[in-house]
């Protein structure tokens, strides 16, 4: 507070402010938990809730089945291609061997080798037939994979079209849900702000002011901080409008308070000096003196100047003489600093009176 306050009183006041902040901290934690749990009062909606309840599952099953069929066809295709490459290699090797043998036979012109020629030709035809069978298997698996992909694409296209048609309804429902949740939060935080305003106006100087200020801090934090992450696009208007209203009300209150204060000061400065000092609170006077200002008009005064016994602005007595030892002392001191005697009340001229 100031140098004039008792040492214990300073620390008690600091402790009470600590109580206010701790109280506000716990209230903020409780408020954050409540505000964070508010969305649970609404059922979570998804895009699937707005699709055809019969056709959409069928399409998803078709897509899953087509994906499985495509995977199976690809696995079978890999095996068929391997068999086809093996058959090609066998056919190529047999054809090369036959060509070499045939060239040898033509060179020797031995008739007894004709049955072997027939057998070798038959074997070569068998290798060629195996290659054709392997190629047919490859083509069949390619056709199966193509059919599975096309079925999957058709089902996905139909599902995408269905989702696009339901998206508008889904977005409308989500906006309505966001509005309801925002109104829940606003209905919780706005009354807290109103209650905080009433407490500030009526109870901020009461005996239990730490709890009053703790609640005020909590209400301000809940409305202007906790509400922000949950604001929809239009929520900012509410926040700024409420902030403008609070600023206008607070500014008007401050202007009127200043005008009332100036009126009281003007009226007080017309009163006799003795009456003014008697009506002035002792702790308030000591606080103002510690700041180097006149306790009456709060204007700056050089209190260290030994000639300044009266305020040059409002005429209030600042120093007088002790009735016991005649030492110059503060007119607001309760005891003389030189002799310790209770301070005698003096009139405006500085003459001590008993």
Token pair 């600091």 is at which residue? 14
Enter the tokens of residue 149: 């992909």
pTM for the model stands at 0.44
Q: Which residues pair with 321 in a beta bridge?
A: 328
Enter the tokens of residue 229: 């992450």
Phi, psi of 317 (to 5 degrees): -70, 130
Phi, psi of 306 (to 5 degrees): -65, -15
Enter the tokens of residue 354: 């008993």
pLDDT classification of 350: cutoffs 50, 70, 90: very low
**Euclidean distance between CA atoms 83 and 133, whole angstroms:** 10
> How much is the average pLDDT of 317-343?
82
Residue 46's SS3 state is coil
Enter the tokens of residue 293: 């200002």
Q: Which residues pair with 330 in a beta bridge?
A: 319
> Quick one: pLDDT at residue 109?
56
Q: Which residues pair with 342 in a beta bridge?
A: 335
Q: Tell me the per-residue pLDDT of 91-101, one tens digit each, with 9 for 90 and over.
A: 777 776 767 66
DSSP, res 223: I
> Quick one: pLDDT at residue 101?
60
Q: Let me know: does 301 contact 312? Beta carbons within 8 Å.
A: yes
Between strands 319-321 and 328-330, the pairing is antiparallel
Q: Where are the beta strands (DSSP E) in 227-336?
A: 319-321, 328-330
**Euclidean distance between CA atoms 84 and 136, whole angstroms:** 9
Q: Tell me the per-residue pLDDT of 43-72, one tens digit each, with 9 for 90 and over.
A: 666 767 667 777 778 878 888 888 888 888
**Euclidean distance between CA atoms 344 and 331, whole angstroms:** 9
> Quick one: pLDDT at residue 73?
80
Q: Tell me the per-residue pLDDT of 215-272, one tens digit each, with 9 for 90 and over.
A: 888 888 887 777 665 555 555 666 677 778 878 887 787 788 778 877 877 777 777 7
294-306 per-residue burial string, b: 16 or more CB within 10 A, e: under 16: bbbbeeebebeee
Enter the tokens of residue 105: 């036979």
């Amino acid at each position: 507070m100031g140098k004039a306050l008792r040492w214990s009183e300073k620390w008690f006041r600091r402790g009470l402010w600590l109580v206010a902040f701790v109280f506000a901290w716990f209230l903020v934690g409780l408020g954050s938990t409540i505000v964070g749990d508010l969305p649970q009062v609404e059922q979570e909606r998804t895009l699937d809730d707005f699709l055809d309840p019969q056709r959409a599952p069928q399409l998803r099953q078709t897509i899953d089945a087509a994906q499985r069929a495509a995977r199976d066809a690809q696995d079978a295709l890999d095996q068929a291609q391997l068999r086809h490459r093996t058959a090609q290699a066998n056919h190529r090797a047999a054809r090369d061997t036959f060509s070499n043998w045939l060239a040898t036979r033509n060179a020797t012109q031995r008739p007894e080798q004709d049955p072997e020629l027939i057998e070798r030709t038959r074997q070569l035809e068998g290798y060629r037939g195996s290659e054709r069978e392997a190629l047919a298997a490859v083509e069949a698996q390619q056709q199966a994979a193509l059919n599975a992909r096309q079925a999957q694409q058709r089902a996905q296209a139909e599902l995408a079209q269905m989702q696009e048609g339901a998206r508008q309804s889904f977005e409308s429902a989500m906006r309505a849900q966001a509005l309801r949740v925002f109104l829940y939060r606003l209905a919780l935080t706005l009354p807290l702000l109103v209650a905080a305003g009433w407490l500030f106006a009526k109870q901020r100087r009461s005996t239990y002011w730490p709890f009053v200020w703790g609640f005020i801090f909590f209400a301000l934090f809940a409305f202007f901080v906790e509400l922000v992450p949950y604001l929809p696009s239009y929520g900012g208007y509410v926040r700024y409008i409420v902030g403008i209203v609070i600023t206008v009300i607070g500014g008007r209150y401050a202007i009127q308070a200043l005008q009332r204060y100036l009126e009281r000061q003007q009226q007080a400065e017309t009163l006799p000096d003795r009456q003014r000092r008697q009506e002035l609170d002792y702790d308030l006077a000591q606080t103002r003196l510690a700041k180097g200002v006149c306790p009456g008009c709060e204007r700056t005064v050089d209190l260290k100047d030994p000639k300044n016994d009266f305020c040059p602005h409002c005429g209030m007595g600042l120093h007088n003489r002790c009735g016991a030892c005649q030492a110059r002392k503060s007119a607001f001191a309760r005891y003389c600093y030189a002799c310790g005697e209770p301070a005698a009340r003096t009139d405006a001229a500085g003459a001590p009176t008993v």
